[in-house]
Structure 1
Amino acid sequence: MAEATVTDAAVGFLYPGYSAEDDYPRLEAMLAADVRLPLVHTDIGEDAHRVDALLEMGSAARLAAGVAALKALGAGAVVWACTSASFVFGWEGAQEQARELSRTTGLPASSTSFAFAHAIRALGADRVAIAATYPEDVAEHFTAFLKASGAEVVAMRGSGIITAAEVGTWGREEVLQLARQGDHPDAQAVLLPDTALHTAAYLGDLERELGKPVLTANQVTVWEGLRLLDRSVLRPDLGALFASDMP
Structure 2
Amino acid sequence: MGVVASFDFEREEELRRWVPDPVRCSVAYTPRVSYRSNLDLVSRLNDPAVLREPARRLAADGASAVAYLCTACSFAGGPGAEHALRDAMTASGAPRALTTMTAVVEALTAVRARRVAVVHPYQSPVERLLADHLEALGFEVVSLTSLKLGSVAEVYGASGQRVRQAVRAGDRPGADAVFIGCTALPTYEAVAPLEGELGKPVISANQATMWSLMRSAGGRARGGGALLRL
TM alignment of 1:46-195, pairs within 5 A: 46=34, 50-195=38-183
Distance 1:74 1:232, change over 3 A: closer
**CA distance in 2 between partners of 1:44 and 1:190 (Å):** 32
Q: What code does the residue aligned with 1:23 have? A: E
- After superposition, the C-alpha distances for 1:60-98 in whole angstroms (9 at most, x for unaligned) are 222223124323432101110001011011011111121
Query: What's the counterpart of residue 3 of structure 1?
Result: none
Distance 1:84 1:177, change over 3 A: same
Q: What code does the residue aligned with 2:181 have? A: P
Query: What's the counterpart of residue 220 of structure 2?
Result: 233
**CA distance in 1 between partners of 2:38 and 2:102 (Å):** 20
Query: What's the counterpart of residue 23 of structure 2?
Result: 35
Alpha-carbon offset, residue 131 of structure 1:
0.5
Query: What's the counterpart of residue 19 of structure 1?
Result: 10
Q: What SS is found at the alignment partner of 1:43?
A: coil
**CA distance in 1 between partners of 2:58 and 2:147 (Å):** 33
Query: What's the counterpart of residue 187 of structure 2?
Result: 199
User: Structure 1 segments of 4 or more deviating over 3 A?
Assistant: 46-49
**CA distance in 2 between partners of 1:176 and 1:192 (Å):** 10
Query: What's the counterpart of residue 5 of structure 1?
Result: none
Q: What code does the residue aligned with 2:185 have? A: L
TM-score (norm 2): 0.90
Query: What's the counterpart of residue 213 of structure 1?
Result: 201
The answer to whether 1:45 aligns with 2:33 is yes
Alpha-carbon offset, residue 163 of structure 1:
3.3
Distance 1:106 1:20, change over 3 A: closer
**CA distance in 1 between partners of 2:219 and 2:224 (Å):** 13
Q: What SS is found at the alignment partner of 2:157?
A: coil
**CA distance in 2 between partners of 1:131 and 1:226 (Å):** 24
Alpha-carbon offset, residue 44 of structure 1:
4.2
Alpha-carbon offset, residue 193 of structure 1:
1.0
Query: What's the counterpart of residue 243 of structure 1?
Result: 229
RMSD: 2.0
Contact 1:50 1:162 survives alignment (8 Å)? no
Query: What's the counterpart of residue 224 of structure 1?
Result: 212
**CA distance in 2 between partners of 1:189 and 1:74 (Å):** 35
Alpha-carbon offset, residue 118 of structure 1:
0.8
Can you give the 5+ residue segments of structure 2 that lack an aligned partner in the other structure?
Answer: none
Q: What SS is found at the alignment partner of 1:201?
A: coil
Distance 1:104 1:121, change over 3 A: same
Aligned residues: 229
Contact 2:48 2:84 survives alignment (8 Å)? no
Q: What SS is found at the alignment partner of 2:98?
A: strand
